[in-house]
Every structure is written in C-alpha cells, then in structure tokens.
Amino acid sequence: MSANDQSGGGAARQGQLKREGLIFEHGAPGRVGYSLPKLDVPEIDPVESWGADQVRDDIAGFPEVSEVEVVRHFTRISQHNFGVDTGMFPLGSCTMKYNPRVNESVARLPGFAAAHPYMPYSMMQGSLELMERLEQALAGVTGMDRVTLQPAAGAQGELTGIMLIAAYHAHRGEQRTKVLIPDSAHGTNPATASFCGLEPVEIPSNSRGTIDIEALAAEADENTAALMLTNPNTIGLFEDQMDEIARIIHDVGGQIYCDGANLNAILGKTRPGDIGIDVFHINLHKTFTTPHGGGGPGGGPVAVREHLAPFLPWPTVERDDSGMLCLDWQRPQSIGKIHTFQGNFAILVRAYAYIRALGPEGLRQVAEDAVLNANYLRVKLEGHYHLPYQQISLHEVIFSDRKQKKNGVTAMDICKRLMDYGYHPPTVYFPLVVPGALMLEPTETVSREELDVFIDAMIAIAGEAETDPDVVKGAPHSTFLRRLDEVGAARRPVLRWDPQAADTDGD
C-alpha cells in the first residue's frame, strides 16, 4: 500500500455504509410496528377505572414506524459497528475472542429462556443443575471451594468480593481499613475499595513490572483488610513471587483478592486457589466467550475459599435432604442480595456450554495458544515499536508510542489509523504505568495468517509515522465518520433527541 492511499484496507466496506437518521426522524402518523391479540375479555377504560388524573396521554416524541422500517434502521446502524466476526480485535485486557454460535442457540431453548425466576424448584431442576455444574466447573478451573453466580458483571463481582472480605473481618470482630492495590491495577479496584469504606493504598511496581515486594511488606500490617491483585497482572506478567506475597498478606491477617480479568492466560497452568488467593472474580465474557454485546450484559461469578463461603450473597444453589436442587435463601451471615434474582442466567448457559465444548485439554490449549499468539506479536513488532518490558509475556503484550511520538504521532493516532486497515484498535493508555501504552491481546482465536497481516499493518503504520505522520494523525480516513468532537459533546451535552430543537434547526 502506498503512503498516499489514505483509505487503508477497510475501504471496501464503505460502499455498503449509508447515512442513517435517528429513528425519530422516520415514520408518519398512523403507522404501526406491532400487532395485538384481539381482546377476548371485556375492555377496561383506565380513565373510568383509575380516574382521569392518573392516566397519561399518548407518548409524544415516540416514532410511528412499521416493522420494516425498524428492521432496516437497526440493520443499517449495525453496519457502523465493528464486531469480533468483522475482524481481529486485539483489545488488551478485554479478551475479545470468538463467540460460538451454538451458545446463542442453547441459551434460547424455551425450557431455559421462558422460565420465570420464581418458578417452583421442582419445575426448575434442569436450570438449577446447570448452575450447580457451572459452579463446580468454575471452582475446578480456579481451584476454589465455592462460587456465587449472582454478580451481573465483573465490576459487581469485584464489589461482591471485597464485601465478602469486609464481612469476614467484621465477623471476626476486626476493624481493618486498608486495601493494598498495585499501581498497574484496573481503575475499578480503587473505586471498589472506596465504595466499601476502605482506603486504597497504592503499591508501586518494580522495574520488571511486578509488585515491589519490599514496598508491599512495608505497607502490610494489622490494618490491612486485603491485597487486590491482578495475576497475571495488567502488563501480562505473572506475579512470580506469589508464595512471598501470600505469606506477607496472610501473616498480617489480610485476605488476597484477585481480579480474574486475565484468567484466559492461565487456564490449566496455575490455579488461584492453589497459590494463596482467597477470592477470585471471573469475567465470563472474557475467558468464557459470552458475547460482549457492546457493553453487557455480563456475568461476574466470584470464587472463594471455604472460609468465605458463609458470606456469599443469597441465594446459593444447594441440594435438600431428598437431593432436590433448590435456592437457599436462609444464609444468616451472607453479605445480602446483589442481583434482583439469581444472576444473569442466560449468560451462565453460554459460559457453561463453552466450558463443556472444550473440556480440560481444550481449556489448557486455549491458554497456550493465547500466550503463543501474544509472544509472536511481541517478537515481530519489537524494533518497530518501543517494548517497555522485554521478557516473555503471557496472553498480552504492551508496546508504547515512544518511537512514534518523536514525529508527533501518539498511541491514539496509531489506534485510529488501525481502523483504516480494518482492525479494532488495541487498548491505549492503560496500564497507566506505561506512558502511551498500546496493549495487544490477540487471543487464541486468530490464525497465523491473520496475525501476519495485522503485523504488516502495524509495521506499515510505524513507517507512515516516519514518512507521512499527518496521514496517521488525521486517521481514520475510511470510517463512516471522521474523528468526533468529544470536547464539544462534554461542554454542551446533548443527551437526548429534542424534537423542538430539531424543528428550530430546520427553520
């Protein structure tokens, strides 16, 4: 590709892309996009039944569109999105891997999908068995004793995990106030600690990118409620001194919480429960391929060691004396209720289906291929991009924009330029410990050829940053829209469609 070809590899799709107005700009009075069953019972006039002052008019502002218009509208706007099936999605720490289609179909089986959460247990043995089996599988993969499937997402799992630790200390009559958090941690970690009334204390990384053990030992004391760890950490490195870390924290009576964001790298290679971790949360959409959905719904099960099990959110899945599965609402030491019902069941079905498709050898192969692919990117791109940590990485690898910055090209510019080549950008500016970070996680679901084409694109962009930096700085060129004005959006927020403003614009 010549440097003048600003469109990159993604241009071929553009002919399909059409501008599409808001749904509010479609339709006309009297069109309907719904059908109703003919009333087989007497009609009730709400004004008579409730009183006129309790009943609203129709919903001004809503569109009046046919089903055809609805389908075309949402199909068209979908084409302005990039999905995992569109192409490689090397988004570090987010593990955007292929989402098997069979998982979608089994989650929609009527026996699962049409079940109300308050169905009598005797009628729900199949779903409860799935939950019991998934709990056992996740406990097996993580080496832990019990698992709650209730949290609706990783962040809620994290909140649950820290609440479990706080409840554990409170139960023992201890008032501990500090949570130690490595500086490479996810932003949710300090947010969660504060949410639970605990004070986050930052622990620096050493030059190898792992926890500074001396700093940890100096900060750990009888006031330490927990260490919040990510292992492998956000730099993609394994905390190789886990024995020492666990000893330091447990010696002062603290608990170790591990963020399971990077479980994909260690499946069958190491188990959190075997290396001193007390609480571990799992992002089902990362490791266990439940679809990201553009930002949820997720699933954030939390796995714990036995001593924390009494504090798990109620209800838990248990068997009664007759062996029948049921939900146990009577958990006196429980931290309480986290989800309105028993968790995002339809997401759990997908995760369970994935685990059963792979089995123990398959799961281990997932970790091996993910790590293999990340290291291949590392050796192929080293030299073209600055590599802050030289050692073998696990499932993700971090470069930075240091070389390109000399020509005024930032990590964000490189990201936007990758869109022109047909890729979703990597994670940028995270972790914060690496300035201008570009975090790549190819996952196990990309092939060698795909990796090679991606590598070529990255090298081409590095070349453009030298020879024609403006083409990178002005990217993307081939997307439906160019760079968007985020400053204007934040200064004068327009957060909803306003028909009156739209009318005025038209005058």
Q: Give residues 74-103 in contact with another protein (rule: CB under 8 A).
A: 74-75, 77-86, 89, 91, 94, 96, 98-100, 102
Nearer to another protein, 484 or 507 (CB): 484
Closer residue to another protein in complex, CB, 125/467: 125
**DSSP codes of every residue in 487-504:** HHHHHS---S--HHHHHH
Is residue 294 involved in binding another protein (CB under 8 A)? yes
Binding part of the chain for another protein, among 1-9, 218-226, 251-259, 495-503 by CB under 8 A, reads 495-503
Contacts (CB under 8 A) with another protein, residues 120-159: 120, 122-127, 129-130, 137, 140-141, 143, 152-156, 158-159
Q: Report the candidate in 344, 355, 351, 291 with the shortest Cα–Cα distance to residue 151.
A: 344
Smallest distance from the beta carbon of 35 to another protein, in angstroms?
A: 8
Selected from 268, 310, 388, 469, the binder of another protein by CB under 8 A is 268
Q: Which of 207, 246, 245, 177 is CA-nearest to residue 391? A: 207
Compute the C-alpha angle 266/269/274, nearest 5°.
95
Sign of the Cα torsion 270, 188, 228, 396 reads positive
CB of 107 to another protein, least distance (A): 8
Footprint on residues 16-45 left by another protein (CB under 8 A): 19-20, 22-24, 27, 31-34, 36-37, 39-44
| Alpha helical stretches, state H, 231-330 | 242-251, 284-287
Region 168-227 residues binding another protein, contact defined as CB under 8 A: 186-188, 190-197, 200
Chain Cα centroid distance, residue 31: 39
Q: Show the binding pattern over residues 357-386: x = contacts another protein (CB under 8 A), - = does not.
A: xxxxxxxxxx-xx-xxx-xx-xxx------
User: Least distance to another protein from the beta carbon of 2, Å?
Assistant: 23
Instruction: Please state the closest distance from residue 115 (CB atom) to another protein, in A.
Output: 5
Encoded one letter per residue, x for contact with another protein by CB under 8 A and - for no contact, window 223-262 reads --------------xx-x-xx-------------------
Out of 183, 328, 450, 456, the only residue in the binding site for another protein (CB under 8 A) is 450
- Give 170's contacts (C-beta < 8 A, 6+ positions apart): none
Q: How far is the CB of 399 from another protein (least distance, A)?
A: 16
Interacting residue with another protein among 4, 118, 207, 500 (CB under 8 A) = 118
Nearest-CA neighbor of 181 among 191, 166, 168?
191
- In angstroms, the CA 88 to CA 259 distance is 25
Least Cα distance to 297 among 255, 268, 339 occurs for 339
Q: Is 398 in the site for another protein (CB under 8 A)?
A: no
Residue 503 touching another protein (CB under 8 A): no
Residues 327-346 that bind another protein (CB under 8 A): 329, 335-346
Indicate whether 444 belongs to the interface with another protein (CB under 8 A). yes
Least distance in angstroms from the C-beta of 506 to another protein: 14
Distance CA 416, CA 409 (A): 11
* Residue 506 in the binding site for another protein (CB under 8 A): no
Nearer Cβ to another protein, position 144 or 462?
144
Which candidate, 225, 250, 51, 263, places its Cα nearest to that of 143?
A: 263
Residue whose CB is less far from another protein, 20 or 219: 20
For residue 132, give every residue at least 6 positions away whose Cβ sits within 8 Å of its Cβ, in sequence order, or none. 317, 319, 325
Pair type for strands 325-328 and 316-319: antiparallel
Distant-in-sequence, close-in-space partners of 348: CB < 8 Å, separation ≥ 6: 130, 131, 134, 149, 284, 299
